[in-house]
Chain A
Amino acid sequence: MRAAIVVFPGINRERDMAIALELSTGHKPRMVWHKETSLDGIDLVVLPGGFSHGDYLRCGAMAAQSPIMPAIRAHAERGGYVMGVCNGFQILTEAGLLPGALLRNAGLRFLSMDCNLRVERSDTAYAGHYTPGQVFRAPMAHGDGNYFASADTLDRLEGECLVAFRYAEADGSLTTAANRNGSQRNIAGIYSSNLRVLGLMPHPEDLVDPLMGGTDGKPLFDGLAAALAA
């Protein structure tokens, strides 16, 4: 699998993501500067976490206007794989590649701690190494992760089973306490209709090494490596 990580000015988890991808795929991902315009030969495009353009105005709003965006959009339209994590998820919603928006956390504070994610479906390239209903841990670190979409958009997401992960308790139950940022319906991540584009707020890439407190995030990358092998 050939992966690329898009480097927008101000993002800061590109190296974490590169480490996680290399660990599972054996290859260093290509770093693509936001002013580039081509993604030829890339299977997976990753928009990493951070504060693109300082998160000024709205998180991801300015990055969504980057020169690289048309290439990312074309890649997605071609049925290519695109994963946006944290700021990357915000950029994907701002660019209209995923529905909804990410608002300021309900408590109006930055949230940095591990959360539990419930896997809603595992028949995708991203979740193949998890099982449906499985709960795994991932660090979160964001100030604007409060997922919002109109009622009908939410119903469509649910109807088409496009919710990827939800904030849950360790036992998989969906509570308000587990839903720290106030996201609608505990949504932590969603897929595009063709299941090729994934956006999620937490950071599985920061939990792929037992030394850092666990490997709960590793199956996501192993799954991708397997699904996109060759």
Chain B
Amino acid sequence: MKDVNQALAAEFGLSAEEYQRVLDIMGRTPSFTELGVFSVMWSEHCSYKSSRVWLKTLPTKAPWVIHGPGENAGVVDIGEGLAAIFKMESHNHPSFIEPYQGAATGVGGILRDVFTMGARPIANLNALRFGDPKLANTKRIVDGVVRGVGGYGNCVGVPTVGGEINFHPSYNGNPLVNAMTVGIADKDKIFLSAAAGMGNPVVYVGSKTGRDGIHGATMASTEFDADSESKRPTVQVGDPFVEKLLIEACLELMATDAIVAIQDMGAAGLTSSAVEMAGKGGVGIELDLDHVPQRETHMTAYEMMLSESQERMLIVLRPDREDVARAIFEKWDLDFAVVGHITDTGHIVVKHNGVIEADIPLDPLAEQAPLYHRPTTETPKQAELGDVADPVGILPALFKLIGCPDLCSRAWVYDQYDSTVGGQTVKRPGGADAAVVRIEGKKRAVALTTDVTPRYVQADPEMGGKQAVAEAWRNITAVGALPLAITDNMNFGNPTKPEIMGQFAASIRGIAAACVALDFPVVSGNVSLYNETEGKGILPTPAIGGLGVLEDAAQAVGLAAAPGQSLVLIGSIAGHLGQSLWLREIAGREEGPPPPVDLVVERTTGDFVRTQILAGAVAGCHDIADGGLLVAITEMLMGGNTGAVLLAPPADIAEHGWWFGEDQACYVLAVTNPSALLAAASAANIPARLLGLAGGSDLTLAGGATISMIELSAEHARFFAEWMN
């Protein structure tokens, strides 16, 4: 085995200073295994060394928050003694290297983060970003990722109910795969990972350990370069069947009183789970690797400690409950092995073949973990856009937009995801601004969404951060639910570049401001940095996963408008075309500042809309986002298989600005009694305007321009079908 020195430390991704710090902590040259432990625990992925200082500034508290960041997932009180447990996590690098397995194991990993806390997973979402659709490689990655998300989620029987998929050349070499899981538990039966109890057995359950994904955590913490090829053997393969058994077995065990602490083996496998569990509990832990269930022969301590084999959990049991636990895992045909015990040494001690392979003090490992205040430079503000002429006219632009890769129907994607298993899916993908999933046996439901508009964040990271949170809040509001909390997945480029770190810091500022203004705290999240290939970084992509609650699922509304219903705009449109899809797709420019977000207006407008929905005054509701008002209207009409006759825009706004501007805090409502709604709005001082009447089979503008909905729907459905034929 190589001898341990600075060169090896560098290979393991530790800087010279970091290695020196290891030497100081150990007071000697670390063993190969010890160096491995330090390198993964101090990797960006596990230590958050570049992002921690900023993450700490996020608002994480509210009366309904039971556990914020710091646990495997966030936990919020949703009433009736129930808690929603959720988190989003990235699997970007693995999905580039092996799209199917990368995406599949990403779903598996986030599921474990949620059920390890005692929740039965009830919904999955996935936020995906890919490169230029014209590239064959993009097609291959999209196909593999979508199959992988479905392959794993469908098999474990958790409905995949929502997400996003967008395209931009900046993701050519760095696709983003962010998976989110939501689970439900009794709020007084939450399981945590802090180990306790001198001598308590430490139990390993699930799949056997192989040489999978060794150093995955460090891989997830470095830029891609030519020799990423050589990192390929670390690809992990997921086994959703075993995951399903693991869910059922863990939930069965959790119904007993056997568990002291439990934690999934995620990134950095046995190392991070053992270190985090003992560290959080302020105890020590001793592992005897001879007892670790192994798939391969002659595995070294280093390999076993760093393996990222999937579908494994680590549990600290009450000593007198070992047999109860063993029986449950044997029933489910899962491995069950006592691999160690809790000590009072404050050290993690790893033995193999009677030899002590590692002995590391836990406090310094955590407390002296590197923490960087990386230099930041502010992103320069974009010049105002000024007037942009309309080169094509309204309906031709609509036709082009409705069929473009970023706005066309996503049915090809979600038709491959089982969205109904569980029998509780009230609003399926495509049916509403947020997915709505009822809690089995209750009237209550949760509303779920993921959102971010990377081109806004690129143009103005702070405003873009605000907008991402605002849009998540709006989407939850648009189904009638009360937004409660978010999880975030911060996907950025190389943090050692000041302009990248500047984007990160500014978007955190924006996210934080929006969370405060909207009472929408961050309860969990994940950071993925170094999303760069040959120096080219991705658009900054702080994906937001939002959760809201509906006391009665029957009150949820979708986005479809039915014939005979009036369309009413709530909110005010200034015709903001900067960074709009119209500007990119029709005028061929990616310029200008993103639409401004006024959080006070956002809140008053949304609260009004929600009140109207809960009062039963609204048949359909859709917020204005990508593509603007006319795209929103068209989506509502396609959803209800109807056309509409629309009224003229106000005289003081350019027509294309009115129809395609991406102004924030706006909703289109489909109602049977428009005058009542308009009256209520003016009484509440909320801008509102009658837009037109749904009906017929054509979309007709004031002045007579018209297009058949059949044509629009066909164009809407075309892209993915043709692309993937």
Contacts and interface: CB of A to CB of B under 8 A. Distances in A.
Given A9-B332, A51-B155, A212-B426, A112 B244 contact: no
A185 interface: no
A211 interface: yes
Interface residues of B, number: 34
B155 A211 contact: no
Given A10-B245, A109-B416, A112-B415, A51 B421 contact: no
B244 A141 contact: no
A20 B423 contact: yes
Contacts of A205: 423
Contacts of B421: 12-13, 16, 49, 141, 206
Interface stretch (A53-61, A72-80, A94-102, A218-226): A53-61
Interface string B139-164: 00000000100110011110000000
Nearest to B438: A211
Contacts of B16: none
A15 B241 contact: no
Interface string B405-425: 000000100111111111111
A112 B422 contact: no
A103 B553 CA distance: 37
A166 interface: no
A55 B151 CA distance: 11
Contact of A212 (B156, B242, B415, B423): B423
A51 B242 CA distance: 11
A55 to B, nearest CB: 7
Given A54-B155, A55-B155, A141-B154, A9 B333 contact: yes
B359 interface: no
Nearest to B242: A54
A92 B332 CA distance: 23
Contacts of B438: 211
A179 B416 CA distance: 16
Contact of A51 (B154, B423, B425, B440): B154
A42 interface: no
A146 to B, nearest CB: 16
Contact of B419 (A10, A19, A53, A112): A112
Contacts of A177: none
A110 B155 CA distance: 11
Contacts of A55: 155, 241
A145 interface: no
A211 B416 contact: no
A123 interface: no
Nearest to B553: A211
Contacts of B244: 9-10, 12, 51, 54
A139 interface: yes
A85 B568 CA distance: 44
B240 A13 contact: no
A203 B155 contact: no
B155 A209 contact: no
B240 A19 contact: no
Interface of B: 147, 150-151, 154-157, 239-242, 244-245, 332-333, 411, 414-426, 428, 438, 440, 553-554
5 contacts: A19-B423, A19-B440, A51-B241, A139-B420, A209-B423
